[in-house]
A and B are shown apart, each in its own frame.
Chain A
Amino acid sequence: MGAVSSPYLEVKELRKSFPGVLALKGVSLSLAEGEVLALIGENGAGKSTLMKILAGVQPADEGDFQVKGEAVSFRSVNDAMDKGIALIHQELNLCGNLDLASNVFLGREPTRGGLIDEPTMRREARKYLDLVGLDLPVETIAGSLPIGKQQLVEIAKALSSNARVLIMDEPTSSLSQKETETLFGVVKDLREKGISVIYISHRLGEVIELADRVTVFRDGENAGDLAGDEINHNNMVKLMVGRDLSEFYDRKVHESGSIVLNVDQVCTPAFPASSLSLEVKSGEIVGIAGLVGAGRTELLQTIFGVTPALAGTIEICGELLALDNPRTAIKAGIALAPEDRKQHGLVLPMSVRENTSLPSLKRDANRGWLNDAAEAKVTNTAVKSMKIKTPTNEQIARFLSGGNQQKIVLGKWLAMKPKLLMLDEPTRGIDIGAKREIYKLMEKLAGEGMAILFVSSEMEEILGMADRAYVMHEGTIAGELDRDQLSEESIMHLATGNLVAA
Chain B
Amino acid sequence: MKKNILGIFILLVAIFVITAMINPKFLNAYNMQNLIKWSSLYAVMSLGVAFVIITGGIDLSIGSVVGLVAVVLSICLKLEGMDPWSAIGITLALSLLIGFLHGVLITKAKVQPFVVTLCGLLVYRSMGRWLTDNQSIGPIPLEGDAGYANLEQIQGLDFVFSGKIAIGSFNLPTPAIFLFVLCIAAAIFLRRTIWGRYLFALGNNEEGTRYSGIDTDRMKILAYVLCSFFAGIAGILFAFELDSVQPAQTGEFYELYAIAAAVLGGCSLRGGEGTVLGVVIAAAVIRLIYNSINMVGISTHLEFGILGLVILLGVIGDEFLKKTVARKQAAQKA
Contacts and interface: CB of A to CB of B under 8 A. Distances in A.
A347 B204 contact: yes
Contacts of B272: 347, 349-350
Interface of A: 17-20, 304, 306, 325-327, 329-331, 336, 338, 343-350, 354, 358-359, 361-362, 365, 368-370, 396, 399, 412
Nearest to A367: B193
Nearest to B191: A370
B207 A344 contact: yes
A346 B208 contact: yes
Contacts of A343: 205, 207-208
A359 B200 CA distance: 14
B334 A412 contact: no
Across chains A and B, which 7 residue pairs bring their CB atoms closest together, nearest first? A330-B213, A19-B330, A358-B212, A347-B205, A359-B212, A361-B194, A347-B204
Interface of B: 192-195, 197-198, 200-201, 204-205, 207-215, 272-273, 329-330, 333-334
Given A336-B211, A343-B205, A368-B193, 4 more contacts: A306-B211, A346-B205, A350-B204, A358-B201
Given A346-B208, A358-B201, A370 B194 contact: yes
Given A20-B333, A306-B211, A370 B204 contact: no
Contacts of A347: 201, 204-205, 208-209, 272
Give the interface centre of B201, B272, B273 by most chain A CB atoms within 10 Å.
Answer: B201
B201 A350 contact: yes
B170 to A, nearest CB: 36
B195 A17 contact: no
Contacts of B212: 326, 330, 358-359, 412
A338 B207 CA distance: 11
B194 A362 contact: yes
Contacts of B329: 19, 396, 399
Give the interface centre of A330, A347, A365, A370 by most chain B CB atoms within 10 Å.
Answer: A347
B139 to A, nearest CB: 35
B213 A359 contact: yes
Given A19-B330, A365-B194, A370-B194, A327 B201 contact: no
B267 to A, nearest CB: 13
Contacts of A331: 213
B122 to A, nearest CB: 32
A347 B271 CA distance: 12
25 contacts: A18-B334, A19-B334, A20-B333, A325-B210, A326-B212, A330-B213, A343-B205, A344-B211, A345-B211, A346-B205, A347-B201, A348-B204, A349-B204, A349-B205, A350-B200, A350-B272, A354-B200, A359-B214, A361-B194, A361-B198, A369-B192, A370-B192, A396-B329, A399-B333, A412-B212
Nearest to B332: A391
A18 B333 CA distance: 9
A366 B194 CA distance: 9
Given A326-B213, A349-B204, A358-B209, A399 B330 contact: yes
Give the interface centre of A18, A304, A358 by most chain B CB atoms within 10 Å.
Answer: A358
Contacts of B201: 347, 350, 354, 358
A338 B210 CA distance: 12
Given A17-B334, A20-B333, A327 B214 contact: yes
Contacts of B207: 343-344
Contacts of B334: 17-20
Contacts of A325: 210, 215
Give the interface centre of B207, B211, B215, B272 by most chain A CB atoms within 10 Å.
Answer: B211
A370 B199 CA distance: 14
A19 B211 CA distance: 26
Give the interface centre of B195, B207, B333 by most chain A CB atoms within 10 Å.
Answer: B333
Contacts of A350: 200-201, 204, 272
A326 B193 CA distance: 22
Nearest to A61: B334
B194 A327 contact: no
Contacts of B209: 347, 358
Contact of A358 (B192, B195, B214, B215): B214
A418 to B, nearest CB: 11
Contacts of A327: 213-215
B333 to A, nearest CB: 5
Nearest to A335: B213
A337 to B, nearest CB: 10
Give the interface centre of B212, B272, B330 by most chain A CB atoms within 10 Å.
Answer: B212
B195 A19 contact: no
Contacts of A326: 210-213
Contacts of B208: 343-347
A178 to B, nearest CB: 35
Contacts of A346: 205, 208
Contacts of B210: 306, 325-326
Contacts of A306: 210-211
A399 B326 CA distance: 10
Nearest to B198: A361
B193 A338 contact: no
Contacts of B215: 325, 327
Nearest to A330: B213
Contacts of A19: 329-330, 333-334
